[in-house]
């Protein structure tokens, strides 16, 4: 097959708030080849990722991403890796490249799976997909009382595990943060799995993070996530050595496999969290899943958007039955939920399973694209480089 077209659809809620809630917009990617269509999703700023796809060339190592994708042969999984290498090489100096590539790469897996009538995880060499324990991923309440109520609500919905993050956490006093952590624990109950996400709030301030370790451990959290930005390896390492019961979790900011490996090898994390919509797609995520498993680090998906992204983020570690926990966007905005017709709903046993259908097995809802679609036009050098495509026949 030859890649005939790559189209981007920018979807958005009518209003975007300043919450740390990544489900407020989405960038869908549609790839067509050999009469098949595959869908993927890029994490983070849709407009910028579109620009990286279509921008005028700056030089040989700073070409628009699409120049290395359109017209390429796609006859097997090795082609996906080859195209990804080509993109990274030809767009080396274009910083946004990895985010744009991610959605395209996911769509290529979906397309190839449909062509072969096989689920993506099987193309990855995974014989059967293990079920995952979803944790409800939500923002901290503005107050500890609000967090308590949220935690109770999550438990009432049937989730055993929950992650609280962002919101006021880390921005007030040590006591405020302790109250928030203890409220989350109280609401989840003593047997709930509690995860705490600092949202990189302390950047690389080891002292600020250290002051929260006692309350994170007192609340019985399984992990403290992203005390620092992804690059602060030395600070991760130092903090990891100060923790006795809880472990560190990080990695969502990884935009290549090197960054994720460094967090494992030099940062001392116990959980490595990969967003397939950022790291370059499913292939590099699978590489990290295998790498983590070999080193006794637990792989976890990072997903705060749609069920298309959720699905793509589970494929890479579907074969790791003991890496059981899975981030599950529990309060997504309407756009994120609406963009697929089917969803990965927890079964009666509370576990989430990948569909057995070909490709990713998700059905995109054209109605959602019409309803939440954003009109975009980018013109440069006298040409229209991008205009929101028609959804097609």
Rounded to a whole number of angstroms, the minimum distance from the CB of residue 355 to its own copies is: 28
51 lines the binding site for its own copies (CB under 8 A): yes
- 108: its two tokens: 């290529």
Annotate each residue in 236-275 with x if it binds its own copies (CB under 8 A) or - if it does not, as one string: -----------------x-xxxxx--x--xx---------
374 lines the binding site for its own copies (CB under 8 A): yes
Cα(183)–Cα(297) distance, integer angstroms = 28
378 lines the binding site for its own copies (CB under 8 A): yes
- 262: its two tokens: 């460094």
Q: Residue 214: how many CB atoms within 10 A of its CB?
A: 11
- 142: its two tokens: 């503005």
Helical (H) or strand (E) element with 57: none
**Is 328 in a helix, a strand, or coil?**
strand
Q: Which is nearer to its own copies, 213 or 385 (CB)?
A: 385
Q: Which is nearer to its own copies, 267 or 358 (CB)?
A: 267
20 lines the binding site for its own copies (CB under 8 A): yes
Contact criterion met (CB below 8 Å) for 193 and 324: no
Contact criterion met (CB below 8 Å) for 100 and 65: yes
Rounded to a whole number of angstroms, the minimum distance from the CB of residue 28 to its own copies is: 14
Judged by CB under 8 A, which of 134, 199, 284, 316 binds its own copies? 199
| Residue 129: closest CA among 314, 283, 270 | 314
Only one of the segments 53-61, 113-121, 142-150, 174-182 lies at the binding site for its own copies (rule: CB under 8 A); that segment is: 53-61
DSSP 139-201: EPPSSHHHHHHHHHHHHHTT-SEEEEESTTTTTS-HHHHHHHHHHHHHHH-TTSEEEEE-TTT
Instruction: Spell out the alpha helix ranges (H) of 266-344.
Output: 282-294, 307-314, 334-338
Cα(186)–Cα(188) distance, integer angstroms = 6
Degrees (nearest 5) of the Cα angle 253, 167, 153?
105
Annotate each residue in 300-339 with x if it binds its own copies (CB under 8 A) or - if it does not, as one string: ----------------------------------------
Total residues at interface with its own copies (CB under 8 A): 70
186 lines the binding site for its own copies (CB under 8 A): no
Rounded to a whole number of angstroms, the minimum distance from the CB of residue 132 to its own copies is: 24
Q: Which is nearer to its own copies, 177 or 287 (CB)?
A: 287
56 lines the binding site for its own copies (CB under 8 A): yes
376 lines the binding site for its own copies (CB under 8 A): yes
Phi, psi of 273 (to 5 degrees): -105, 120
Judged by CB under 8 A, which of 2, 71, 73, 93 binds its own copies? 93
Rounded to a whole number of angstroms, the minimum distance from the CB of residue 107 to its own copies is: 19
60 lines the binding site for its own copies (CB under 8 A): yes
Contact criterion met (CB below 8 Å) for 154 and 187: yes
Residue 251, CB-side half-sphere exposure with 13 Å CA sphere: 35
Only one of the segments 88-96, 105-113, 156-164, 214-222 lies at the binding site for its own copies (rule: CB under 8 A); that segment is: 88-96
Rounded to a whole number of angstroms, the minimum distance from the CB of residue 382 to its own copies is: 7
- According to DSSP, residue 56 is labeled P
- According to DSSP, residue 55 is labeled P
Only one of the segments 52-60, 130-138, 150-158, 337-345 lies at the binding site for its own copies (rule: CB under 8 A); that segment is: 52-60
Annotate each residue in 270-299 with x if it binds its own copies (CB under 8 A) or - if it does not, as one string: --------x---------------------
Which of the residues 31 through 50 are near its own copies (CB under 8 A)?
43-48, 50
Helical (H) or strand (E) element with 125: none
Cα(298)–Cα(142) distance, integer angstroms = 31
Q: Which is nearer to its own copies, 98 or 144 (CB)?
A: 98
| Residue 248: closest CA among 257, 258, 266 | 266
Only one of the segments 60-68, 240-248, 307-315, 352-360 lies at the binding site for its own copies (rule: CB under 8 A); that segment is: 60-68
Give me the residues that bind its own copies (CB under 8 A), please: 10, 12, 16-22, 24-25, 43-48, 50-52, 55-63, 85, 88-89, 92-99, 166, 199-200, 203-204, 229, 231-234, 253, 255-259, 262, 265-266, 278, 374-382, 385
């Amino acid at each position: 097959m030859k890649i005939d077209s790559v189209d981007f659809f920018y979807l958005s809620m009518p209003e975007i708030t300043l919450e740390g809630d990544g489900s407020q917009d989405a960038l869908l990617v549609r790839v067509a080849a050999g009469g098949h269509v595959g869908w993927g999703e890029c994490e983070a700023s849709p407009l910028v990722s579109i620009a990286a796809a279509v921008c005028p060339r700056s030089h040989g190592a700073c070409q628009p991403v699409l120049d290395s994708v359109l017209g390429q042969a796609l006859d097997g999984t090795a082609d996906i890796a080859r195209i990804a290498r080509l993109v990274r090489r030809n767009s080396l100096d274009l910083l946004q490249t990895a985010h744009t590539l991610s959605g395209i790469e996911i769509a290529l897996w979906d397309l190839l799976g449909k062509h072969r009538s096989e689920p993506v995880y099987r193309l990855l060499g995974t014989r059967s997909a293990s079920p995952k324990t979803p944790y409800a991923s939500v923002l901290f309440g503005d107050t500890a009382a609000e967090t308590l109520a949220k935690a109770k609500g999550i438990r009432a919905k049937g989730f055993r595990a929950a992650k609280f993050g962002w919101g006021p956490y880390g921005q007030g006093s040590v006591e405020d943060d302790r109250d928030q952590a203890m409220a989350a624990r109280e609401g989840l109950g003593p047997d709930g799995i509690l995860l705490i996400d600092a949202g990189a709030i302390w950047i690389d301030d080891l002292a600020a993070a250290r002051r929260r370790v006692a309350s994170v451990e007192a609340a019985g959290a399984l992990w403290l996530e992203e005390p620092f930005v992804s690059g602060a390896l030395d600070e991760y390492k130092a903090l990891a050595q100060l923790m006795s019961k809880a472990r560190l979790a990080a990695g969502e900011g990884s935009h290549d496999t090197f960054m994720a490996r460094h967090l494992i090898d030099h940062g001392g994390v116990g959980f490595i969290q990969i967003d397939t919509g950022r790291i370059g797609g499913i292939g590099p995520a699978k590489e990290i899943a295998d790498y983590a498993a070999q080193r006794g680090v637990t792989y976890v998906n990072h997903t705060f958007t749609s069920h298309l992204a959720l699905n793509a983020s589970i494929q890479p570690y579907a074969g790791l039955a003991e890496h059981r926990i899975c981030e599950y966007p529990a309060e997504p905005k309407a756009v994120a939920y609406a963009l697929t017709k089917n969803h990965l709903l927890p079964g009666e046993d509370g576990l989430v399973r990948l569909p057995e259908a070909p490709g990713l097995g998700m059905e995109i809802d054209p109605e959602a694209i019409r309803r939440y679609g954003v009109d975009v036009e980018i013109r440069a050098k006298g040409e229209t480089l991008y205009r929101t495509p028609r959804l097609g026949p």
